[in-house]
Amino acid sequence: MINKKCFAVLSIGILVFILISSTFARSLPPPLVINITSSKTLNGIAGDYVTIEGTITNTGDKPLNDIVTYLSLVDNGTKLPVDLEDWSAEKGLHIGTIDAGQTLPLNWKIHFVKAGTYSLIIIAEAAGYDLPQTSGITQFNVNPKINLNPGQVLPVALGTPVFLIAIMFLLAHRRRVGNE
């Protein structure tokens, strides 16, 4: 009798433990490790096109499905997230499935639009998990582009109106002289 009761309690306990564990497990992020590998080469000048490179590794014992990774960028000056509309053509990468222990490369081509200091993280989501996994924060600088005379525009921008005004006065002078 006592053995049957014990067995029942134990079974229920194990069942509850499994249920709680699986729920708890679902509230955890997926077992992924994300690294930004190009952190040292990210600094640049506004207007540059750079490639953000990274890796994503499945550290769990089962394959993970429907993996989606994306960038998150914050402007350290304004403390506001950056709208990646102009920075990158591809905002999200759909990886698909990563087998247990497998590592896959990640890369995004982005366009440095505005000068400033930025914090970058890569975020990954997997099917069946409510929380995402993130990489560490990488900071980089975008220096301003200063170019007062790109493509020799200044001589044209100043010179053409001045030239036309000179012709105007020349025509007026010729007309005046011709009529005297």
Partner 1 sequence: MKNLTDMTDIIFADNLSKSYGNRKAVDALTLHIREGEIFGFLGPNGAGKTTTIRLLTGILKPDNGVVVIDQLLLSEQKKEVAQAIGVVPESRGFYNWMTAKEYLSFFAHLYGVRDDIDKRVEARLLQVGLLKRKHSMIGTFSLGMRQRLGLARALINNPKILLLDEPTLGLDPQGQEDIQQLLKKLNGDGVTIFLSSHLLNEVTNLCSGIGIINKGKLVAEGTIDELGKMTNLQDKTLTQTFLYLTSNGGERDV
Partner 2 sequence: MFKYIWKKELQGELYTWKSMLWLVIASLLFSFTSYLLLTDRELSLLDQTELMLLLSQIIIVVALLIITIDASSIITAEFENATAETIFLAPLSIKDFLLGKFLASLTLWVLLFIVSLPYIIVASSGSHLTMAFIGYTALLGTLGIVGLVAFIFAVSLLLRSTKNTLTTSLITVLVLATPALFSTTLKNNALSQLFSQIDPIDNMFSSLDNVLVDYQTSLLQNWRFILPLVMFCALMFVFLVFAARKFNEEGVIKND
Where on the chain is the footprint of partner 2 (CB under 8 A)? 46-47, 111, 113-115, 144-145, 147-154, 156-161, 164-165, 167-168, 171-172, 175
Please give the Cα distance from 87 to 71 (Å, whole number): 11
Cβ distance to partner 2 smaller for residue 61 or 85: 85
> 178: phi > 0 → left, psi -120 to 50 → alpha, else beta; which?
alpha
User: Which of the choices partner 2, partner 1, none does residue 178 contact, using the CB cut-off of 5 to 8 A by kind?
Assistant: partner 1
- Of the ranges 32-40, 152-160, 163-171, 172-180, which one interacts with partner 1 (CB under 8 A)? 172-180
| Residue 138, strand partner residues | 120
Six-digit token string for 15: 């069942």
| CA dist list (Å): 113 to 13, 37, 87, 108 | 58, 22, 6, 15
Cβ distance to partner 2 smaller for residue 66 or 86: 86
Six-digit token string for 32: 């992924």
Please give the Cα distance from 65 to 53 (Å, whole number): 22
105 binds partner 1 (CB under 8 A): no
User: Which of the choices partner 2, partner 1, none does residue 160 contact, using the CB cut-off of 5 to 8 A by kind?
Assistant: partner 2
Cβ distance to partner 1 smaller for residue 114 or 174: 174
Residues that bind partner 1 (CB under 8 A): 178-180
